Amino acid sequence: MDRYAVIGNPIAHSKSPPIHGLFARQTGEQLQYEALLAPLDDFAGTLRDFLQEGRGVNVTVPFKEQAWALVDSRTPAAERAGAVNTIQRLDDGSLLGDNTDGKGLVRDIQHNAGLPLAGKRILLIGAGGAARGVIQPLLEAGPAQLCVVNRTVEKAEQLAMLFKDQGPISAAGFDWLEESVDLIINATSASLDGQLPPLPPSLIRPGHTWCYDMMYASEATVFNRWADEQGAARCIDGLGMLVEQAAEAFFLWRGVRPDTAPVLASLRQRG
């Protein structure tokens, strides 16, 4: 039976094993999927040992950039993102790296939540690996403007320069922000620490602006609680993105696209 795994540190909290287990049962694919804890100083060894027999892996924090450097080839999405979250061992033994995060985010927003991104003004908070990994798919969706905002403006400006050939992208610091936007995406990990980026309430037009936190928890994140207090039209967490990016990985590995709706519903029910 083909073996797959998610590798990270920490990893015990990962929902990837139950997600791929549900995908496998739904599609009739025969596979095993497990979670592997890699030492912080030896991700490469953990990856190498597993892929001697394993067919593929998902990669999570903090190893996505290391994975990018270790694969033999990359998809265009992974090349631009500078990070790999999905690896497939090809028939010749070489490793193909992909980044499915951005596709997962865009599909969750447009398909699951029902917000078309074409023509929208989008604010992306953060300029780290999570933000970089979703910029190209967001621009491919055709927004009127994508503004990357970060405490260190230079980092946001570097991302804007990197992706300027892909669509209308700009950079800003938090103190530059005034006008409301259609969608705010929090790509920082601040929610994990209960922290809120310094966002002015004027960004949210009550009843109109949508807010999306790429983090998820059993309760609303501090970012989504803040957005709800400002009157945001919708406040969405990142669980749907997790399921959708997993479906993209499953499709890469198995050539079968699972139905994500019942899987997401099952995870919501579990809490």
- Binding site for NADP(+), by residue number, is 126-130, 150-155, 214, 238
If you write DSSP's letter for every residue of 89-138 in order, what string do you get?
A: E-TTS-EEEE--HHHHHHHIIIIIS----TT-EEEEE--SHHHHHHHHHH
DSSP bridge partners of 74:
97
Query: Beta-carbon neighbour count of residue 196 at 10 Å?
Result: 16
Four-residue CA torsion sign, 100, 139, 63, 188: negative
Binding-site residues for shikimate sit at 14-16, 60, 85, 101, 216, 245
Distance (Å, whole) CA 53 – CA 3: 7
Binding-site residues sit at 14-16, 60, 85, 101, 126-130, 150-155, 214, 216, 238, 245
Secondary structure tally for the chain: helices H, strands E: 10, 12
Q: Which residues are tagged catalytic?
A: 64
Whose CA is closest to 97, among 78, 119, 118, 116? 78
Tokens for 136, please give them.
């190209």
